[in-house]
Amino acid sequence: MGGALGAPRGGDGGVAMLILGIETATDQVGVALSAGGAVVASFEVARGRRHAETLAPAIEFVCRQAEVRLDELAVVAVDVGPGLFTGMRVGLATATSLAQALRIPMIGRSSLDLLAFPCRHADRVVVPVIDARKGEVFWAMYRQVPGGVQRVVEPTVGSVDDLVADLLARSEEVLLVGDGADRYLEEIQQGYRCESIDGARPSAVPLVQLAHAQALREDWVNPREIEPIYLRPPDAQISWVTRRERP
């Protein structure tokens, strides 16, 4: 455990490289498996039981259905946020522990990347917007480039007004996507004329697609180097009530 990472299994010729992707940054839980860049299995559920109850059984199910043993994996990819902290950490703790135990490298991608990538054929700037609760949103901006998208505005957190101000300042034609866009669309459109794609969530499928391209360049990290993107300092409320409930 620890120590130097070996080259991932299936990295060169012969066997197709297997990548497991884990995504839990919003209220959705997603797991996808790719072999040689092709998505061979995926599981996604957007309601019902919470992340921690669903994720491990989903990984087991996806791998069993695709007839893949976990020890055959080459890389574990994970959504590193921004998103809902508790859910994000379920995915991150699962992914880093899997990679550590299997001694394989990891690839972390932002939830905003996962929203933008499926819009790579759109004809305008893509603005993924994720609901950060407490009246705020996370966003970034992406421009189309051959084969994908490129981030032009780094992930940010702020009020809906802050987002509108950012859009006004750049004054480009934009396409909004994500649960934050769904929730605050009317408010955003009152301040800035734009269109949106309804109902999109960060998904494990674009995660393994992006991770495959990155893995081909051996652009991966040790599990300990995976950093969550919180964008917000911890809420320092202590309550004697929560404290009382613990031993």
Partner 1 sequence: MRELTVGPDTVVLGIETSCDETAAAIVMGGTDIVSSVVSSQIDLHAEFGGVVPEIASRAHLEMLNPVVARAIVEAGVDESRIDAIACTIGPGLIGALLVGVSGAKAYSLAWDVPFVGVNHLEAHLYSALLEDPSLELPLVVLLVSGGHTMLVEMRDHGAYRLLGQTIDDAAGEAFDKVARFLGLGYPGGPAIDAVALHGDPEAIRFPRAVPEGLDFSFSGLKTAVVNYVRAHPDVSSADVAASFQAAVVDVLVTKARRAAREIGATGIALGGGVAANSLLREELLGACAEDGIRGFLPSRAMCTDNAAMIASCGWYRLRSDGATPLDVGALPNLRLPLLAS
Site for partner 1 in 91-110 (CB under 8 A): 91-98, 100-102
Q: Which stretch in 51-59, 116-124, 170-178, 202-210 sits in contact with partner 1 by CB under 8 A? A: 51-59
| C-beta pairs of 62-68 under 8 Å, 24+ apart in sequence | 62/20, 62/31, 62/32, 62/33, 63/20, 63/33, 65/41, 66/33, 66/35, 66/40, 66/41, 68/18, 68/33, 68/35, 68/40, 68/41
- Residue in the shown chain whose Cβ atom is closest to Zn ion: 247
Q: How many residues does the chain have?
A: 247
> Minimum CB separation from partner 1 for residue 183, in Å?
22
Instruction: Give me the phi and psi of 187, to 5 degrees please.
Output: -60, -45
Across the chain, how many H-helices and E-strands are there? 7, 10
In the list 4, 145, 169, 238, the residue contacting partner 1 (rule: CB under 8 A) is 238
Answer for which of 1, 4, 145, 169 binds partner 1 (CB under 8 A) is 1
Q: Which of 35, 55, 75, 141 binds partner 1 (CB under 8 A)?
A: 55
CA 15 to each of CA 32, 37, 74, 205: distance values in angstroms, whole numbers, following the listed order: 18, 12, 11, 21
Position among 12, 67, 186, 245 found at the interface with partner 1 (CB under 8 A) = 245
H or E segment and range at residue 59: helix 51-65
Contact between 70 and partner 1 per CB under 8 A? yes
The reply on whether position 84 binds partner 1 by CB under 8 A is: no
Stretch touching partner 1 by CB under 8 A, among 50-58, 157-165, 171-179, 194-202 = 50-58
Catalog residues that contact Zn ion under the rule CB under 5 A. 247
Q: Where does this chain bind partner 1 (CB under 8 A)?
A: 1-2, 49-57, 59-60, 70-71, 85-86, 89-98, 100-102, 223-224, 228, 230, 234-238, 240, 242-247
